[in-house]
Amino acid sequence: MFENLQDKLNTAFRTLKGKDRISDINVAATTKEVRRALVDADVNFKVAKDITDRIKDKAIDRKILISVEPGQMFVKIVQEELTELMGGKAESINIKGDPAVVLIAGLQGSGKTTFSGKLASMLKKQGRSVLLTACDVYRPAAIEQLKVLGEQIGVEVYAEPDNKNAVDIATNAMAYARKMGKKIVIVDTAGRLAVDEVMMQEVADIKAAVKPTEILFVVDSMTGQDAVNTAKTFNERLNFDGVVLTKLDGDARGGAALSIRQVVEKPIKFISTGEKMEALDAFYPDRMASRILGMGDVVSLVERAQQAFDEDEAKRINAKMRQNKFDFDDFLGQLQQIKKMGNVKDLIGMIPGMGSAMKDLDIDNDSFKPIEAIIQSMTKAERETPELIDGSRKKRIANGSGTSIQQVNNLIKQFDEMRRMMKKMNTMQAPAAMKKALR
């Protein structure tokens, strides 16, 4: 999902790569590219303009942390704004009532029946007693489809195949649910290929008859800007509570997800990413934003860095690196900072593209232990001037730290390499340099 948007945004961010400051000029160029990418992905132009204006202001205002690359900081700002655009926090559905009634509305083929089944299945797994109700009286196959789904997930389906009055069916389903002690009734309604008055009136009548606790509007995300317009029409008539975006598995553009919330001012509550009953997720704006940005979870990584890194310490280390005076004490200090950021394996998983590649590797914070022990077994003079460490000192350090001479040699070698590297690119940040050296 969102592949095209992802590619374009990545291209946009490339202008900031390797820069050590965010300047007005590169921010303007990057936000322009971001805006173009959003519009290409079907995001409403005004929405795209508003969000990129905010991104620009934030990027210029924000103090750039010395330990975070400007490119990453910019991506984080875009992520925050996309999250806000999609509603900020996740919103649940109201299933309080006796029974609670969830009314499902939308155009034909949008995925209402499939979603009704998925929602029923999800609620059943939470231990709730659910009744599905087939109110699509125009498409005989619709009743059958819901029955098949119901059987598959083990949820009872209420239907009256010979009754053509959807309002009656819904009302009867309510009485049946009360009699059977069902706690949630999901009402799947009829849709037409396009918005039409008869259909709208029927859904409105069902709404009046069953007084839903939650009305969900289901929309096919592949329909792009039309999805936004359909949402508007349904909302004017039904004043729905939430949106279900379907077929996100097939949509490389995904602009509907970004504009719908802004345009109808109703939250997206679920996303559907396939035909299988399991392919339903609650909608989390922040996770979706990360997904759109193809970020792994750089956001959490930056947040943790913000929490863990001490600006003054980072500046001090930077200065030492520039003077090529980075020593084993600094190395130890940096290790401690990385550890403060959390579990090393988690951190690696947040690096885009690394998560899946590294997930089976056995790395934990203990990996640092021998390194720390070796450094701690050095004298102050040895830490400051590693050149002092000759054969007999190595032996003493290995003994003192419970490691082998080979481990001591390896660390000193890596440290030397790291210092050489720092000399070459003395603007590089210490943690990044260390990660490289530790590989």
Sign of CA dihedral 18, 24, 25, 27: positive
Residue 145, marked binder: no
Q: Residue 69 belongs to what H/E stretch?
A: none
Cβ at position 136, least distance to ligand GDP in Å: 7
Cβ at position 166, least distance to ligand GDP in Å: 14
Cβ at position 423, least distance to ligand GDP in Å: 54
Cβ at position 311, least distance to ligand GDP in Å: 46
Q: At which residue do the structure tokens 């001037």 appear?
A: 385
Residue 79, marked binder: no
Residue 113, marked binder: yes
Token representation of residue 49: 């303009």
Q: Residue 103 belongs to what H/E stretch?
A: strand 100-106
Residue 246, marked binder: yes
Question: Based on CB atoms, which residue is closest to ligand GDP, 29 or 153?
Answer: 153
Question: Based on CB atoms, which residue is closest to ligand GDP, 59 or 186?
Answer: 186
Residue 11, marked binder: no
Pairing state of beta strands 184-189 and 100-106? parallel
Residue 420, marked binder: no
Question: Based on CB atoms, which residue is closest to ligand GDP, 120 or 317?
Answer: 120
Residue 401, marked binder: no
Question: Based on CB atoms, which residue is closest to ligand GDP, 188 or 214?
Answer: 188
Question: Based on CB atoms, which residue is closest to ligand GDP, 161 or 250?
Answer: 250
Q: Residue 37 belongs to what H/E stretch?
A: helix 24-40
Token representation of residue 351: 């690096």
User: What letter does residue 268 receive in the DSSP assignment?
Assistant: E
Cβ at position 12, least distance to ligand GDP in Å: 28
- Give the span between the Cα atoms of 350 and 14, in whole angstroms: 19
The residues near 213 (Cβ < 8 Å, ≥ 6 apart) are 94, 95, 96, 97, 100, 101, 102
Query: What is the arrangement of strands in the sheet containing 242-246, beginning at the earlier edge strand?
Result: 156-158, 130-135, 184-189, 100-106, 214-220, 242-246, 268-272, 280-282
- Give the span between the Cα atoms of 118 and 222, in whole angstroms: 19
Question: Based on CB atoms, which residue is closest to ligand GDP, 10 or 108?
Answer: 108
Q: At which residue do the structure tokens 């939470």 appear?
A: 126
Cβ at position 275, least distance to ligand GDP in Å: 4
Q: Residue 322 belongs to what H/E stretch?
A: helix 311-322
Residue 223, marked binder: no
Residue 136, marked binder: no
Give the footprint of ligand GDP on this chain (CB under 6 A). 106, 108-114, 191, 246-247, 249-250, 272-275, 279
Cβ at position 132, least distance to ligand GDP in Å: 12
Residue 189 has φ and ψ, to the nearest 5°, of: -100, 175
Token representation of residue 106: 């939308």
Question: Based on CB atoms, which residue is closest to ligand GDP, 173 or 344?
Answer: 173
Q: Report the binding-site residues.
A: 106-113, 188-192, 246-249
Q: Report the binding-site residues for GTP.
A: 106-113, 188-192, 246-249
